[in-house]
């Protein structure tokens, strides 16, 4: 039941008879539709949607937006998510009617501009990753992972290697990696990290065998560290007949410095909503293109965008070895337009500067914060780093508490409790779009919170103090789920 202090849900503003729409007039014969249908197919009660005026809708959603923190609201150093600035020109370009108001089934002759953009994006991403060809069809990183693994599976199958059922995943990997392996029909096998936070080569040799389908890796890895022995790893896996999968979650660290293709990877997925500024949208839509070597190119989902000698672009469906279609139509075109706009705004030099400054920012923060927080791996990091809240935990302040306290300073906290192999982990990714002043202010806040942990732990334990709601009762939410609104009557 709603209390006075509760922020209303839209249904609570509803009054019978109020309207927020004006539909086109009925300018054809008004017929009785009900004559055509037997009664049981005619909806008896309208769906109980809100009845509100246009201003009420605007006020409601504007108020909701003020109860939300985005990159434009303030610093958002959420590790592994690359919460960088989302350029406004991207939003404008994607809304041009020639991009936003085209239908996927129009004749190819009437969408040559869109196909040209997609083709050039495929080519640009191939170049940036050092791969042979790229599909734009995948809707998100997770779908990209699954697509890549399905292709590796199809490749092994075509070679008669039906026994290759295992996908190796580092213990520090994001949970999506093993989940993708499972839904693609593989068994996930874990390889350990060593005390430098890198894949343990000896353990890799132990787990790789004739049943290995692939090794999935992010590089830099989830600790923000570059896997220096990548070539040895590639050799171990390739020798055994497996293929190397690159999770592009962390590409922001290496553009123009190295390319997955040059490191020996066979399949790459990218998160255009991370490195290439498609906005995160509150959780989506994203876009997760997949690039492959020449050997694996025949297995790409169909259609691809190709070009005839006459400079005419077309959908290439003639791909007999393709794993098939992974999504209706051609991918999240609207996000791909944004990513393309970004790449064209940056150019080759700009993309390299992106990685240079992302790495500079991360290392600067890491060195300033290691005086106050435990740093489990002390080598230079790439675009992000992981701290441990171990010291503060001894004073009864957990990483969760510090994260909540950061909210009072107007920050979105870092990723917490991930990766799993660091106790009380805090994973910080500043990105290249943040100014030094912003980094300094955040560092000061972190140091202040660490001091509070020593001097006034309750202040941290009871945080946040300034947000529109306090900490939520998540246990009850899960035990007695209320997943929709019910009217009180």
Binding to other proteins, residues 385-424 (CB under 8 A): 403-404, 407, 412-413
- Kindly state the tokens that stand for 73: 């609201």
Q: Per rule CB under 8 A, is residue 246 in the interface with other proteins?
A: no
Q: Which is nearer to other proteins, 424 or 432 (CB)?
A: 432
SS3 435: coil
Find out whether 419 and 223 touch, Cβ atoms under 8 Å.
yes
- Kindly state the tokens that stand for 344: 């064209």
Find out whether 370 and 391 touch, Cβ atoms under 8 Å.
no
Q: Per rule CB under 8 A, is residue 75 in the interface with other proteins?
A: no
β 267-270/212-217 pair status: unpaired
Q: Which stretch binds other proteins (CB under 8 A): 20-28, 202-210, 387-395, 445-453?
A: 20-28
Find out whether 199 and 173 touch, Cβ atoms under 8 Å.
no
What backbone torsions phi and psi does residue 414 show, to the nearest 5 degrees?
Answer: -65, 170
Q: Per rule CB under 8 A, is residue 311 in the interface with other proteins?
A: no
Q: Per rule CB under 8 A, is residue 299 in the interface with other proteins?
A: no
**419: Cβ–Cβ under 8 A, 6 or more apart, which residues?**
172, 173, 222, 223, 386, 425, 427
Q: Per rule CB under 8 A, is residue 241 in the interface with other proteins?
A: no
Q: Per rule CB under 8 A, is residue 43 in the interface with other proteins?
A: yes
Q: Which stretch binds other proteins (CB under 8 A): 80-88, 210-218, 240-248, 389-397?
A: 80-88
Residue 253 gets which letter from DSSP? G
Q: Per rule CB under 8 A, is residue 371 in the interface with other proteins?
A: no
Q: Per rule CB under 8 A, is residue 211 in the interface with other proteins?
A: no
The only residue of 101, 309, 488, 489 in contact with other proteins, by rule CB under 8 A: 101
From residue 474, alpha-carbon distances to 441, 470, 480, 481 in Å are: 31, 12, 10, 10
Compute how many residues bind other proteins; rule: CB under 8 A.
203
Find out whether 457 and 395 touch, Cβ atoms under 8 Å.
yes
Q: Per rule CB under 8 A, is residue 160 in the interface with other proteins?
A: no
Q: Per rule CB under 8 A, is residue 21 in the interface with other proteins?
A: yes
Q: Which is nearer to other proteins, 254 or 454 (CB)?
A: 254
The only residue of 206, 325, 394, 454 in contact with other proteins, by rule CB under 8 A: 325
The mark string for 441-480 relative to other proteins (x by CB under 8 A, - otherwise) is -----------------------x--xxxxxxxx-xxx--
The only residue of 159, 202, 281, 455 in contact with other proteins, by rule CB under 8 A: 281
Q: Per rule CB under 8 A, is residue 135 in the interface with other proteins?
A: no
Find out whether 114 and 333 touch, Cβ atoms under 8 Å.
yes
SS3 112: helix
């Amino acid at each position: 039941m709603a209390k006075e202090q509760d922020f209303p849900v839209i249904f609570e503003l509803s009054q019978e008879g109020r309207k927020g729409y004006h539909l086109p007039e009925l300018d054809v014969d008004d017929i009785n539709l009900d004559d055509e249908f037997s009664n049981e197919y005619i909806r008896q009660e309208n769906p109980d949607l809100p009845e509100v005026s246009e201003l009420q809708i605007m006020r409601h959603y504007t108020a909701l937006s003020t109860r939300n923190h985005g990159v434009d609201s303030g610093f958002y150093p959420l590790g592994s998510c690359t919460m960088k600035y989302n350029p406004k020109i991207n939003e404008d370009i994607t809304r041009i009617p020639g991009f936003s108001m085209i239908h996927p089934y129009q004749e190819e002759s009437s969408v040559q501009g869109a196909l040209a953009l997609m083709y050039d994006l495929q080519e640009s991403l191939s170049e940036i990753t050092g791969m042979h060809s790229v599909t734009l069809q995948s809707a998100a990183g997770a779908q990209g992972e699954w697509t890549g693994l399905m292709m590796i599976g199809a490749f092994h199958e075509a070679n008669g290697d039906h026994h290759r059922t295992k996908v190796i995943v580092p213990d520090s990997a994001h949970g999506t990696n093993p989940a993708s392996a499972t839904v693609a029909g593989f068994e996930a096998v874990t390889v350990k990290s060593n005390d430098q936070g890198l894949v343990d080569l000896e353990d890799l040799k132990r787990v790789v065998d004739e049943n290995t389908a692939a090794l999935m890796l992010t590089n830099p890895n989830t600790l923000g560290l570059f896997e220096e022995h990548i070539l040895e790893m590639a050799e171990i896996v390739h020798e055994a007949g497996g293929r190397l999968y690159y999770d592009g979650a962390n590409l922001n660290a290496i553009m123009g410095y190295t390319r997955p293709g040059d490191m020996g990877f066979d399949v790459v997925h990218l998160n255009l909503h991370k490195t290439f500024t498609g906005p995160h949208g509150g959780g989506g839509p994203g876009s997760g293109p997949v690039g492959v070597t020449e050997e694996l190119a025949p297995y790409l989902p169909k259609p691809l965008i190709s070009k005839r000698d006459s400079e005419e672009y077309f959908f290439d469906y003639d791909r007999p070895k393709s794993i098939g279609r992974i999504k209706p139509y051609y991918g999240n075109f609207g996000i791909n337009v944004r990513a393309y706009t970004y790449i064209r705004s940056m150019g080759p030099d700009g993309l390299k500067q992106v990685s240079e400054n992302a790495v500079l920012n991360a290392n600067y923060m890491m060195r300033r914060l290691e005086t106050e927080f435990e740093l489990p791996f002390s080598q230079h990091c790439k675009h992000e780093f992981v701290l441990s809240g171990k010291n503060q935990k001894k004073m009864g302040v957990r990483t969760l508490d510090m994260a909540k306290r950061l909210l009072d300073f107007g920050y979105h906290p870092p990723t917490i409790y991930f990766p799993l192999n660091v106790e009380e982990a805090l994973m910080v990714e500043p990105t290249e779009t943040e100014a030094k002043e912003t980094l300094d202010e955040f560092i000061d806040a972190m140091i202040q919170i660490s001091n509070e942990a020593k001097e006034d732990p309750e202040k941290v334990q009871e945080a946040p103090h300034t947000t529109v709601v306090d900490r939520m009762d998540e246990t009850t939410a899960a035990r007695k789920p209320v997943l929709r609104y019910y009217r009180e009557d």
